[in-house]
Amino acid sequence: MDIWVQILTLAQKWGFREVASLCVRELEKLPIQPVDKICIYQRFKLDRTLLLDSFAKLTTRPEPLTLDEGGRLGLETSLQIAQARELSRGPRSGTRSSIQLQDSELHSVIRDVFKLEDDGFFDFGVGDSFVL
């Protein structure tokens, strides 16, 4: 994973759009922990729709984000994950509840909370950020 992140750093720095696209395709093939993947994609300002599964894993896991994870993800993303966790568990019952939504409903909640749009195309900017 580290080599693809290093190559992506240089590809963005030098405006090599095709190389950056290759890096993202290769990163997508790797088993990256959800928090790590989100941090990488946020750092390089990559398409957040590619993070749907990572957001879903953090939303549905039994334990909430740790303080370290929250610090790495940043305030906005951490709060979005907390909101998605609350919405996916339904009304409060006084105890920690399990996920109350089916996969399609869960993905819909995550798309809404994280404002993910599935536009289905690759668009790299040449400026300081790339959108995939």
4-61: per-residue pLDDT in tens?
A: 999 999 999 999 999 999 999 999 999 999 999 999 999 999 999 999 999 999 999 9
- In order, the DSSP letters of 38-92 are HHHHHHTT--GGGGHHHHHHHHHSSS---HHHHHHH-HHHHHHHHHHHHHHH-S-
| DSSP state letter for 25 | H
Structure tokens at 27: 């990163």
* Local structure of 93: helix, strand or coil: coil
Residue 92's Cβ-count burial label (10 Å; 0-12, 13-18, 19+) is exposed
Domain ranges of the chain: 2-113
46-55: per-residue pLDDT in tens?
A: 999 999 999 9
